[in-house]
Chains A and B, each alone.
Chain A
Amino acid sequence: MTAADVLGQFLSGLARAGVLFLIAAGLSFIFGVVKIVNFAHGALYMVGAFLTYSFTVTLKLPFWWSIVLAAVCVAVIGILLEILLFRRVYGRPVADQLLLTFAMVLIIHDVMRLAYGSNLRSVPRPPLLAGAVFLGDVIFPSYYIFIVLTGLAVLGGFWAFLHRTRLGKTIRAAVGNREMVACLGKPLPWLFTTAFAAGVFVDGLAGAIGAPLGGIRLGMDFDIIILAFATVIVGGFGSLPGTALAAFIIGEAYAFGIWFVPTIALSLPFIIMAAVLIARPWGLLGRAGGGEL
C-alpha cells in the first residue's frame, strides 16, 4: 500500500460521496420544506439512472444532453406525483406519508422491471471523461473529478438559491413559519411544488451522473434510499453542510472499509448512523429540534 493507493481510494470515496450528497441533499431539502419523508426518493434516483441508459445507449444521444434530459424528466415525474398524490397526505400522520411513498416504491420498482427487465445495465463514461489525470503515481479518473465538482456545484447552487434569490428566501421563510408566509400572499402550494421539483431534479441528476459509475439494476433504489437516509440522519435533517459532511464521511468510510475490513464495509454506514443516533440524535451539524435549512 502506497500513498498513491491511499489517494486513489480517497478519490473514489469522494466520488461516491458526491453522488450520495446529491441524493441526500434532495431528500433533506424536500423534508425541510414540505415536511414529508419521501421514501420514493431512491426509486426516482433509479428512474434517473435508467432514463440515462435509455438516452445514451438506446437513443444514442450525447452524454451531456442525456443527463440533463434525465434529470428534467425525473423532475417532471416528481411534479406530477406531488400534485396528484403527495398533496393529499400533507398534514396526514407520518405513517400515511411513509406508506404512500412506500406504495410508490413498489409501483416504480415493477414499472422499471416492466420497461427494462431485470438485467444489469451499464452506461459508458463520456469520451471526454473516460480518461484519467495523472499526478505523479496517483491516477485520478476524470469522471470522479467531474462528480466531485458537480456535488460542490450543487452545494453552492443550493446555498445561493436559498440565500440569494427571492424565491429561495421565501422558501426559507415558509420553512420557519408557513402561516405567516401564506398571510403575506405567497402561494404555498406552488412553493411546495417548486421545492419538491428542485429536490427531485437533483435526485434525478444524481441517478444520471451516477449511472456510469456502476451497474444500473433493480434494487439499487432500496440500497440507495437507506444510504441517503443514513447520510441525512448523520448530517442532521435540514442541514445542507451537515449532509455534505455526512456524505463525505460515509463515502470515505466505504472506500477504505472495503479495503481494510471488506466483510463489514457494507454495514459501516449503518454502524456510523447508529452511533450518531445514540450520541447526537439530531445529527452532526443539525440542531436539536431542528428542521430549519
Chain B
Amino acid sequence: MRRWGLLALAVGTLALPQVAEPIVVHTAIEILIMALFAMSFNLLFDGAGLLTFGHGCYYGVGAYTAALLMTEVAMPMFAAMALAMVMGGLVALVFGFFCVRLTGVYFSILTLAFAQLMFSLFQQSYTLTGGDLGILDIQPPAFLVAVNGYYYFTLVVVGVAMWLLWRIIHSPFGRMLHASRDSVVRTQFIGIDVRRYRLAAFVLAGIFASLAGALFAPFNRAVAPFLVSWVKSSDPVLMTLLGGAATFWGPVVGAAIFTTLHTIAIGYTTYWLLLMGSILLVGVLFLPGGILGFLEERFPGVAGARRTRMTEAHGASSHARAD
C-alpha cells in the first residue's frame, strides 16, 4: 500500500510538467524549494531541538550570493550555487558560534537578532545589494530558462539534498543530535561536546537553506531584501509545524500545503498573515503534531515517524542554557 503510494507520487512528480499548466509547474518548483528550506530548518528544530526564528537569513544569503555572482561577475549558475552554499555555511558558522551557546528562548531570539542584522545590512548597502530594489535580471543558463527545464533541475537538486538530509539525520551524528535534544546532561555524560554538534547542525542547516535560496534566485529572476526578512524566516517554521515536525516528510507536506494555499489565497486577499496566523494558532492548540503527526497517530506507520515524542523532547530543552 505504502509502496504503491510512493510509486504513484514518483510518477506524478516526474510526469507533472507534461500534463500540468505552466502555473502549476511554477508552483511545484516553489514547493520543492520551500520544502528544502523547511527541511533544513527542521534539521535544527526536530533534529537538535533548536527553534530558529532567523533561518531566512541563510536563505537570503544563498539567494543574494548566487544573484550577485551571476549578475556582477557573470559566473555560471552551478558555480554560483556552490559558492552560495559555501557563503551560507560561513555565515552560519559565524552566527552559529554565538547562537549555539544558548538554547530555548535565548537561542530563538539571538537567531532572530542576527537575521534582522543581516536584513538591515542587505537593505542599506545600496552599492552592493541594490538596497530596497534588490537585484534584477538574474538569468539561468539557456537550457533552464523554460519552466519545465527548471522544474526537473530543481527536482534533481532538491532530491539529492533531501537524500543527504535523510542520511545526516539517520547517521550517528544525527542520532547524537537527537540525544542532545532529549537530554543535554546525559549526552554530555557520555563524553559528547553538545555545542560542537549543535554548531555542526547549525552550519549544515545554513548550507541547505542557502542552497534553497540559491535555487530561488535564478528561478525568480530577482532578489529583494524581503528574502532575508522575518516573514521569510517564519515560513519554514509555519510549514514544518503545519506538516508535522516529528516526521521526516512533515516539512515537505507543510511546504506543499502552505505554498499552494499562498498561491490561491493571494488571488483573493492580501491578508495572508491573518490567514496563516489563524491556521498556526489552531494548529498549535489542537494539532500539536501537525498533519503528518495526526495521521501517524491514527494510522501508525503511514508517515514514517520516529518513535520519539517531540513534546517530551522539547521540554528538555526549556532550560535557559545548555551548561
Contacts and interface: CB of A to CB of B under 8 A. Distances in A.
B187 interface: no
A226 B112 contact: yes
B124 interface: yes
Contacts of B310: 93
Nearest to A273: B113
Pairs A-B, 5 closest by C-beta atoms: A106-B277, A110-B274, A93-B314, A107-B277, A103-B280
9 contacts: A92-B288, A93-B314, A94-B104, A99-B241, A104-B277, A105-B277, A111-B274, A226-B116, A278-B98
A263 interface: yes
A92 to B, nearest CB: 8
A99 B320 contact: no
A93 B281 contact: no
A73 interface: no
Contact of B113 (A102, A270, A291): A270
A258 interface: no
Contacts, number: 114
Given A104-B281, A281-B101, A94 B273 contact: no
A37 B110 contact: no
What DSSP secondary structure best describes chain B's contact surface?
helix
B321 interface: yes
A42 to B, nearest CB: 11
Given A93-B315, A98-B51, A110 B277 contact: yes
Interface in A238-293: 263, 266-267, 270, 273-274, 277-278, 281-282, 289, 291
Contacts of B112: 226, 229
A101 to B, nearest CB: 10
B271 A113 contact: yes
A88 interface: yes
Task: Specify which of B271, B284, B314 lies most central, judged by the most chain A CB atoms within 10 Å of its CB.
Answer: B284
Contacts of B318: 93-94
Interface of B: 45, 51, 53, 98, 101-102, 104-106, 108-110, 112-114, 116-117, 120-121, 124, 230, 234, 237, 241, 271-274, 276-278, 280-281, 284-285, 288, 310-311, 314-315, 317-318, 320-321
A270 B124 CA distance: 17
Given A98-B105, A263-B124, A277-B102, A106 B110 contact: no
Interface in A209-238: 222, 226, 229-230, 233, 237
A228 B71 CA distance: 39
A106 B284 contact: no
B314 A94 contact: yes
A96 B314 CA distance: 9
B255 to A, nearest CB: 17
B277 A281 contact: no
A102 B101 contact: no
A103 B113 contact: no
Given A107-B278, A114-B271, A102 B234 contact: yes
